[in-house]
Structures are given as structure tokens and as C-alpha cells.
A and B are shown apart, each in its own frame.
Chain A
């Protein structure tokens, strides 16, 4: 059975079985220092990394990630320029991309999936590609060994969640709140509520993302979920203080979700 899972899902299931909570930082590709930020994440306890490929119209992103994406675009970053760098990152953990569907649609799902595979990327998150529209992409992704991580949202009725979970590979992205990416002062009630609903209907690892903003909130979320995805809090540190600050922060979150109580 385990062989039928892709790399992310096999590793995540194994780690979960061993009692480890999963941490997936998001870093905007092309923002100055992004490669070192990814290395710092890997060195400080991340289990996988989500590399953002900047898009001109990121409707699921709040101000911080919008700003980082725009800065990278203004510097002339392209999807290929990011993918070309991936083999040089030299990290051991699985790497995924997060981008918007037009950047997949433009070259076509097949070519895009092939280019991810060539770069050594093993997963993809496309937040504006819901289940009903995902067929062509998922077929291409499956053929190229790319695990497509689906999003589940708090607005979904009960009968929708198992369908979304069934099409998710790698892990299931449990959207933490009604809103776009960005830091919030507290973890929304919806974050743990949805994660709990999902845990009832799927064996796929459930990670909470969007609005998980610090180590304490990560700890809280992982009391229910299998792990967390953190974006804006990572990218803000990258923009304000550089890659080392990202590494320090990942270590802090790691300690918190391991239950070492550093923030409690």
C-alpha cells in the first residue's frame, strides 16, 4: 500500500506514525534570498517546503505575500527561472510549488507538470483550481509523479470534504479561516474545527494553513491537525530580516509543535 503513495505522502504518513507533527513553510520564489531561506527552513526542522511561483493576480494572498510576489515580478522572475534554481537548493526534504492556475494553463498542464518533474519538484498547490476544474491538471500531474495537494475550506458542506480528500495527494490543505493569507492575532476557531472534520473523513495527512501566524498558533493547530503550513509569517521575516531569521523562526515553531513548550 505504502508504495502507491508519492514521496510527500509516504514521508508524511511515516512521520505521523512516529508521532511527529509536520511543518511546511512557504517561501516566495524569486524574492531576494529565497534560496537561502529554503535551505534555512530545511536545516531547522521543516518537513517539506512550498515554493511560491509569483503570479500577477494572487487572489488567495494577503498583503505580505502579494508584496513579496510583486517585488519578485518587478525583478523579472519567471517560473522557469525559479525551477532552474531548484536543483541547486540541495535540500533533502520534498519540495512543492504553490502558484495560480493561469501559469499552468499557459504552457498547458502537461508541459508544466513535466517542467516540475525535471526540476525535482514533487508536489503542487493551485489555490484557484477547485476539484471540479482539476481534471486536466491532475491527470498530467499524476503522470509526472507530481502530488496535487487539494484545499478544503471551512465553507464546504460535509458531503464535499471526502470528495476533496479523495483527490488530494501528499497531504490535504485545511484552510484555516475565511480569508486570504496573512498573519492574525489569534488562531481562528474554524482552523481546528475544519481540521477535526477532516480527520474524521480521511487518512490523508491534514495540515492547517492560512492564518497560522506564530509558534503558539502552530502548537494549537497541531493539537488537532497533523501539521501546519506557514506563509506570511515566514515571508515577512524574509523581507524584514533575511533568510537567517526565517531559519530561527522555523526552529522556534518546530520546538513548539514538538511540544517542547518554548512558547508556552
Chain B
């Protein structure tokens, strides 16, 4: 839509400019996007699939051990087949409406909005079953795994939300489930570890490298290499080898599709800005998917300062795809360092790298202190305790408020903060007196 309107415009330069799109474009990052698109992308919409090699622009691909190539090809075919099968889509929708609790609602934050001088509307993924957007992807992958005849799923997890969602879907669908989690995260997200065990999953603590999400992904991939014949790798974000970034985005796009209709109904218009936190980037890609072809809507993905792959990284290849990566001067992957286990990741999904490279989305980053303040702010003003991950989006809004005054902002509240309460109790002990 967007690119073709723009492309057409450039070839008929003497004619009337296309209405509002153009005026906005000239002063925003999207101006760069329009130029890049005309030359590099043959497709008309940014929500199109990647090219046959799994690339979004220069990013993506399939950099995996040879052992996994046939499995990735099989998955790609199975996903394409399922996604275009109405029966599969119907089953997915049914599980979402009768089990996950979809559609998730929009909540307008009047108190916080007034405080920040913006109109703030939340997409409430925190209200989903298991407490975050992760269930959207996992239900899809678990149904697909069954359709492919797999008996087991193996998952990586950072905050434990993807692990809990995977364990949940496995329990529901009669699959065995094994979850790899970095030892650091096992400590700071102990509640989720126990939830996974209650749900019947096996949780394995990973002690290599930085002992966080990156290393959990490594270990899950190693497990997949060894068990590829009967095991599906249930990857938790829009990262990994093709088709994962695309497939996970499609499963998460329900966030943006719903929100697009809901916000139109609530406000009678498109928002000025859509904002989400970015670890691997699945909740962000999911909500962006509904708006990426709306040229007037600004997209902002917020990274943690200690895991700013887009903000501070350079192109690199890890976990199966080429994307922005925090790495040292020779190419060793750097350890991320963030208060939030779910964003503690040195890479980012390749589609985000592409959106950043062409200027369609911006990726600022926020500090742990800003996140703690935002976590408290939302709790105190709205009665909603956000996940620490989601609080990153609000932290950026709080900082950017003076520049976006009066705008309508749609924010992905990717998860609820119950899992973070114990960690915050330690952090805020001095100030708030802890549990006592």
C-alpha cells in the first residue's frame, strides 16, 4: 500500500502530493524508509513475507548446522501449508478465544495519560492466559508441532514467560516439554520455574556463557540438533533461522490485527505512535504488523540500554540469522546486561533490523533506573503492575513525553508484573520496606 502509493508518486512528480502521508514523511524517519523501499523492495507492503532465503532486506537467512537444514525446510513447508489452511486457522482462533482469552482488550490510561500529556492506550496482552503475549506464538507452534507429528517441544526462555506458555500448551495438547533457562534467570524468575514444573515441564538450568537467554537458546538448539526427528524447537521470539522470524511474527500479528480494529473503534482514527519493548522483538513485531503499512503511524521499539542490539549493535550472525548484534571488535557476542530477564539478549529479530535500517521504525533504549520508575508509575497511577519488559515501553514514553505531547499512543503491555514482584521487592527493599 504505502510503497506503491509512494512509488507512484515519485513517477508522477508533477501531480498533487498524496495527502497526509507525505507531509508527515518529510520530517520523520519514515522518509528514509520510503526511499529505501522504492529501490530495494519489490513488494507493496512491509507486512509481506521475507524473500525465499528468509531475508527481510539484508537481514535474516538460515545459518544453522547442516543437521538442522532439513528440519527448517520441513518446518517452513509445514507452516506455509498450515497457515493457508482454513481448518488450521480456525482451530487456532478457537484455542485463542476459548483458552488464551483473546481478543485482549484495550485500556485507556486516563491518569497516566494526563500525567504525561498524551492519550495513552494499552493493548492488554498481560491479561492473556499465562500472563503475556508469549501464548499467542506458542499455541500456534504447538498446534503446528502436533500437525507435523512431533511428540516433544523444546523451548528457550528468559523471563520464563515463554517457558510457562510452552509448558502450558504442551500440557493442553499432550506434548512433552523441555525448557532451557539460564541459571541467572532461574534465580531471578523462580516463580516461573516452579510454574513450569507444576505444568509438567522439565526445566534445565544453563550454566554456560552469560547464563541468560542467549545461552538458553544455544542449549535449546543443541538439544534440537540431537533430537530433531521427534522434537519441535518452540522458539520464543522473532529470532532464529528462517522460517522462525516470519512464523513467529505471523502468530503474534494477532496483537496488531486486533488492535488496529479496536483503536479505530475506540478513537475513530489510527494512533500517532505504536510503542513496544524489544528483546528478540515478538510482541513489538506482533503489534507493528497491524500498523506497519499505515504510513502515518510512527513505530517505536524500546530496547534495554544493556541489550541494545539495534541501538549499539552491528550486523552479525548468531542463532541462525543475520541481524544487529552486540559484539566485540572481533565478533564475539557480548553479554547483555538488563534488569529484565526477557530483554537480556544481545541480538534482535531480523525484521526489526530491517525496519531500523530502512528507517520505518525507531529503536531507542532506556536504563534500568528509568524502567524501575516506570514500573512503579504504572502500578501507582493505573493499578496495573506491568512486566519489567513492558515497563521499558512506558519508560521511553515518560522520557519522550514532552516531544509527543497531545499524541495518541498505543502501547503493547506485553505482560503482567507478578513474576517480577519478588525481584522488585529486593530492589525496592530500602525504599518501601520489602514484604514487611
Identify the A interface with B (CB < 8 A). 55-60, 62, 66, 70, 73, 78-80, 101-103, 105-107, 127-133, 150-157, 160, 164, 175, 178-180
Residues of chain B with a CB closer than 8 A to A156's CB: 66, 69-70
Question: Contact between B317 and A130 (Cβ–Cβ < 8 Å)?
Answer: no
Please name all residues of chain B whose beta carbon is closer than 8 Å to the beta carbon of A179 when the two chains form the complex.
222, 225-226
CB atoms of A164 and B332 under 8 A apart: no
Residue of A nearest to B332 (CB): A56
Q: Which residue of B lies closest to A81 (CB)?
A: B330
Shortest distance in angstroms between A83's beta carbon and chain B's nearest beta carbon? 11
- For chain B, residues 300 to 337, give those with C-beta under 8 angstroms from any C-beta of chain A: 315-320, 322, 325, 327, 330-333
Q: Is the CB of A129 within 8 A of B333?
A: no
> Would you give the shortest CB distance from B222 to chain A, in whole angstroms?
5
Please indicate the chain A residues that have their CB under 8 angstroms from the CB of B317 in the complex: 101-102, 105, 128
In the complex, what residues of A have CB within 8 A of residue B143's CB? none
Kindly identify which residue among B66, B209, B225 contacts A57, using a CB–CB cutoff of 8 Å.
B209
- B316 with A106: CB separation less than 8 A: yes
User: Residues of B at under 8 Å CB distance from A?
Assistant: 53, 61-71, 208-209, 214-215, 218, 221-222, 225-229, 315-320, 322, 325, 327, 330-333
- By a CB distance below 8 angstroms, the chain A residues around B70 are 153, 155-157, 160
Closest residue on chain A to residue B320 by CB atoms: A128
Specify which of A70, A101, A160 is in contact with B208 (CB 8 Å cutoff): A70
Smallest distance from the beta carbon of A171 to chain B beta carbons, Å? 15
B interface secondary structure, majority: mixed
Of B61, B65, B221, B327, the contact of A102 (CB 8 Å cutoff): B327
Q: Determine if A59 and B214 form an interchain contact, defined as CB atoms under 8 angstroms apart.
A: no
Can you list 7 A-B contacts (CB < 8 A)? A56-B332, A70-B209, A101-B63, A127-B65, A129-B63, A156-B66, A160-B70
A57–B333 contact, CB under 8 A? yes
**Chain B residues with CB below 8 A from A73, complex form:** 332
Is there contact, CB below 8 Å, between B333 and A133?
no
Measured between beta carbons, the chain A residues less than 8 angstroms from B225 are 59-60, 178-180
Task: Give the dominant DSSP class at A's interface.
Answer: loop
| Nearest CB in chain B: distance from A103 CB, A | 5
Supposing A70-B208, A154-B67, A180-B226 touch, asked if A103 and B61 sit within 8 A by C-beta, the answer is: no
- Return chain A residues, CB-CB under 8 Å to B65: 59-60, 127-128, 130, 151, 153
B53 x A62 contact (CB < 8 A): no
CA distance in complex: A152, B71 (Å): 14
A156 nearest CB neighbor, chain B only: B70
**Cα distance A154–B67 when bound, in Å?**
7
Other than the given A106-B316, A129-B63, 18 more pairs (CB < 8 A) read A55-B332, A57-B209, A57-B215, A57-B218, A59-B319, A60-B222, A101-B63, A103-B330, A130-B66, A132-B62, A133-B61, A152-B66, A153-B66, A154-B67, A156-B66, A178-B67, A178-B228, A180-B226
Which B residues touch A132, using CB under 8 A? 53, 62, 69
> Assuming the A-B contacts A57-B318, A133-B61, A178-B226, are A102 and B53 also in contact, with contact meaning beta carbons closer than 8 angstroms in the complex?
no
CB distance from B400 to the nearest CB of A (A): 33
Nearest-CB residue, chain A, relative to B70: A155
A179 to B221, CA, bound (A): 10
By the criterion CB–CB under 8 Å, are B209 and A56 in contact?
A: yes
Query: Complex: how many Å from CA A60 to CA B327?
Result: 20
In the complex, A133→B53 CA distance in Å?
9
A-B pairs, top 9 by smallest CB distance, nearest first, are A106-B331, A179-B226, A153-B67, A56-B332, A153-B66, A151-B66, A56-B333, A103-B331, A102-B317
Residue of B nearest to A154 (CB): B67
Q: A59 touching B322 by the CB < 8 A rule?
A: no
Complex: how many Å from CA A80 to CA B330? Answer: 9
Q: How many angstroms between the C-alpha atoms of A73 and B65 in the bound complex?
A: 22
Q: Which residues of A contact B316 (CB under 8 A)?
A: 102, 105-106
B208 and A59 contacting across the interface, CB-CB below 8 Å: no
Which chain B residue shows the least CB distance to A173? B66
User: Which chain B residue has the least Cβ–Cβ distance from A62?
Assistant: B222
Q: Which residues of B contact A155 (CB under 8 A)?
A: 66-71, 228-229
Q: Bound complex: CA of A60 vs CA of B70, how far in Å?
A: 16
Cα-based distance from A160 to B208 in the complex (angstroms): 34
CA of A19 to CA of B67, assembled, Å? 30
Among B61, B317, B319: residue with most chain A CB under 10 A = B317
Q: Is the CB of B53 within 8 A of A164?
A: no
Residues of B contacting A105 in the complex (Cβ-Cβ under 8 angstroms) = 315-317, 322, 331
Residues from chain A with Cβ under 8 Å of B320 in the complex: 128
Chain A, residue nearest B325 (CB)? A102
User: Once the chains are docked, how many angstroms separate the CA of A153 from the CA of B226?
Assistant: 12
Closest to A179 in B: B226
* CA–CA, A103 and B327, complex, Å: 10
Chain A residues with CB under 8 Å of B327's CB are 102, 106
Q: Answer whether A128 and B63 are a contact pair too, CB < 8 Å, given A105-B322, A180-B225.
A: yes
Are B330 and A106 within 8 A (Cβ)? yes
Shortest distance in angstroms between B133's beta carbon and chain A's nearest beta carbon? 26
CA A154 to CA B215, docked complex, whole Å: 26
